[in-house]
A and B are shown apart, each in its own frame.
Chain A
Amino acid sequence: MDWKCQIESIGVKIPGTRVTTPELMGKFKTPCIKKFGLLTGISERKICSSGEDSFSLATDAAMNCLSHSRYRAEELDMIINCSITKYKNGLSHLYEPSFSTLIRNNIGARKAITFDISNACAGMLTGVYIAEKFIRQGVIKTCMIVSGEYISNLCDHAINNITTSLSSEISSLTLGDCGAAAIIERTADKRKGLIISGFTTLSKYSDLCTGRQNRNSPGGKMKTRAKKIHQAAISESVPIVKEALNKCCLSFNEIKWLIPHQTSRSSIIAGANHYLNYFGEKPGQIVITLKDTGNTASTTHFFALHRYLNERRFSEDDNVMLLCFASGLIIGVVIFKMNEIVYRYGSTN
């Protein structure tokens, strides 16, 4: 039997230290960027303080997710860590054992199979793609996908290297830290199952955004040709989104919530306008959660879902589209109908 899967619970961990955009701009020795907050829509981001790192964010998010879940840790069949950064004990990047193995040991998920994946900002949605395969084939019933992104250190590197507003490291200033986790479970209700569609890597654009560990200083650095990657993502994603909508027999205006990858407000709005021109219709609401947290890499979609669930914005049966763009260039679409998860979050909880 081909099973379907659905999102059972979501957890996040936001670090406590906040850095406002004016504070960040104040760190430049020579002011060279104007209207950064206005263009990106980011007024502050949360960053890790001493004792926090990718591992602590991921573990705390996993615990938060379990606190909202009907499942206990020992009932999880699989844990997939999806973060780009794997910092443990500060800025020490862990290669072996896998991050997910350590998370499993920390949360007590004794029987879970574990492995890590890495797919830039599309990491968590790639995790959903893999979890869906294992669940559909009947190999597992539950899977936790988890990510802890400690990427604010890229911002520190950028501050020391940006000298003009044309610098390739400008995008690093949008980054903030965050941990997110979600449990994907098997369901027999085909109506509410996740539709995974269009996961594609367009490697022609793989050099437009690159990130790697520094050789000479702790942490990493990222270089982006922001305008080019934005243009490529928007134009190349149109047929992929169209195919995904056809697959679930929906029109674009039947999508109540569109959650794109959170890069900057201006690029999200430009993308939405491009879609409007192409499809001639638009989704109910485009979710933008950048203001307080910035771009949190692979965790953005689940952070946005968690926030809107807590604010009780979703209703049962709302159609939600998660749209990922990530360096590679990766484009992917996940469409689903909101389920009873909407009753487990928010003020009454």
Chain B
Amino acid sequence: MVSVAQPRLGFHHVNSIRLSARAAGQCLDYAGIDPCDIGLLINTGIYRYRNTGEPAIAALIQETIGVNRTTAKDTDNHKNTFSFDLNNCGCGLLTALEIVEGSVRSGEIDYGMVVTGDAEPFHRLSNEFTFNSAAAAIILAGSGTSNGFSMFRTYSYPEYCEELVSSTFYGNEGWNRKGRNILNVMQKASYSDVCVDCAVKSLFKFLDESGKTLDEIDLIIPSQSPLGFTDKLKKRVGMNGNLIEIKKTGNMVFHTAGPAFALKKVWDDNRFRNSKNVLFLTTGAGINVSLALYQN
């Protein structure tokens, strides 16, 4: 089950934790499962409300949606939830899905949830922050069949480590920024081209390892950032209608939640269920490329 959330109003500062919790709550509603059955909750958002360091944002989401807030001491079969944050840039969603999938497959948990959401940490205290405020949640359950995720791989390209660097610095300039911690996102002009190169190389390595050909892939659900990534990838891979893109608004892109928004699109129009082989393809700073094969 997948759910997404965006701010209801566009002109005020967005709390990434509330946004993520809204997506998580909706996802639980759609799935129709008891929230207490969620055994593992992983948050993969990077840009969080007021740069909260601890507790993990996942714990705050868990509290907001009311999943196993405390141990039930009066019963022997009480349920617990373990939650933590994971950062693997644009690939975090797939890394977290791999962890949850392993836990579900081994029977350790019945359901696991991956939540991801980004928003500007402090209003107007950032440079080049071109990521939409957006959040998404995905719940994984055991299929009991061979359907589902069958293979995960991550490929690294350390030579491009400095193509995207984002960090805070202590500002000394400007009347409204003097003495403030400013978030600075430095993205080289070549970043999207390099991402596409790395993604294409990784895609063919992955297909080799999985024994599939590109013709056998019915859908590709890719990262929606950096800007222009999906357009260029389409041209290189040539899967026009089956490489899913989300409508862009200006220069703003969907960051960690991008692949989940693309998944939501094909989930709602039933293309996901009707496709035999679905490929998830994510890229992130580092540069890392993560891929996963989902079979129906």
State whether A116 and B50 are in contact (beta carbons under 8 Å apart), knowing that A97-B285, A218-B170, A239-B71 are contacts in the complex: no
Residue of A nearest to B65 (CB): A203
Top 9 nearest A-B pairs (CB, nearest first) are A203-B63, A115-B88, A213-B51, A97-B285, A119-B84, A120-B54, A204-B69, A328-B59, A328-B55
Residue of B nearest to A199 (CB): B82
Please provide the chain B residues from 173 to 195 with a CB less than 8 Å away from any CB of chain A in the complex. Answer: 179-181, 183, 185
A149 nearest CB across to chain B (Å): 11
A210 nearest CB across to chain B (Å): 7
Name B residues whose Cβ lies closer than 8 Å to a Cβ of A: 41, 46-47, 50-56, 58-60, 62-63, 67-71, 73, 80-89, 91-92, 95, 99, 102-103, 105-106, 121-122, 125, 154, 156, 158, 161, 164-170, 179-181, 183, 185, 284-288
B89 nearest CB across to chain A (Å): 5
Does A117 sit within 8 A of B, measured CB to CB?
yes
Find out whether the CB atom of A118 lies under 8 angstroms from the CB atom of B56. yes
Residue of B nearest to A105 (CB): B158
Find out whether the CB atom of A101 lies under 8 angstroms from the CB atom of B161. yes
Residues in B whose Cβ lies below 8 Å from that of A115? 86-88, 91-92, 95
Find out whether the CB atom of A97 lies under 8 angstroms from the CB atom of B161. yes
Other CB < 8 Å A-B pairs besides A94-B165, A199-B82, A217-B170, 10 of them?
A96-B284, A97-B284, A115-B88, A198-B80, A201-B62, A203-B68, A210-B52, A213-B51, A215-B122, A217-B179
Find out whether the CB atom of B54 lies under 8 angstroms from the CB atom of A84. yes
Q: Interface residues of A: mostly helix, strand, loop or mixed?
A: mixed
Residue of A nearest to B73 (CB): A239
Q: Could you say which of A122, A216, A332 contacts B180, with CB atoms under 8 Å apart?
A: A216
Residues in B whose Cβ lies below 8 Å from that of A198? 80
Residues in B whose Cβ lies below 8 Å from that of A85? 53
Please provide the chain A residues from 187 to 214 with a CB less than 8 Å away from any CB of chain B in the complex. Answer: 198-207, 209-214
Find out whether the CB atom of A212 lies under 8 angstroms from the CB atom of B51. yes
Q: Could you say which of A114, A119, A326 contacts B288, with CB atoms under 8 Å apart?
A: A114
Binds B, one of A27-35, A58-66, A129-137, A313-321: A129-137
Does A18 sit within 8 A of B, measured CB to CB?
no
Which of under 10, 10 to 19, 20 to 34, or 35 or more describes the interface residues of A? 35 or more
Interface pairs (16), CB distance under 8 Å: A89-B167, A93-B167, A95-B166, A95-B167, A95-B183, A101-B161, A101-B288, A114-B288, A118-B84, A204-B69, A206-B59, A215-B181, A218-B170, A328-B54, A328-B56, A330-B55
When chains A and B are docked, how far (Å) is the Cα of A112 from the Cα of B155? 9
State whether A116 and B87 are in contact (beta carbons under 8 Å apart), knowing that A95-B46, A95-B47, A220-B53 are contacts in the complex: yes
Find out whether the CB atom of A98 lies under 8 angstroms from the CB atom of B85. no
Residues in B whose Cβ lies below 8 Å from that of A122? 84
Residues in B whose Cβ lies below 8 Å from that of A134? 102
B100 nearest CB across to chain A (Å): 10
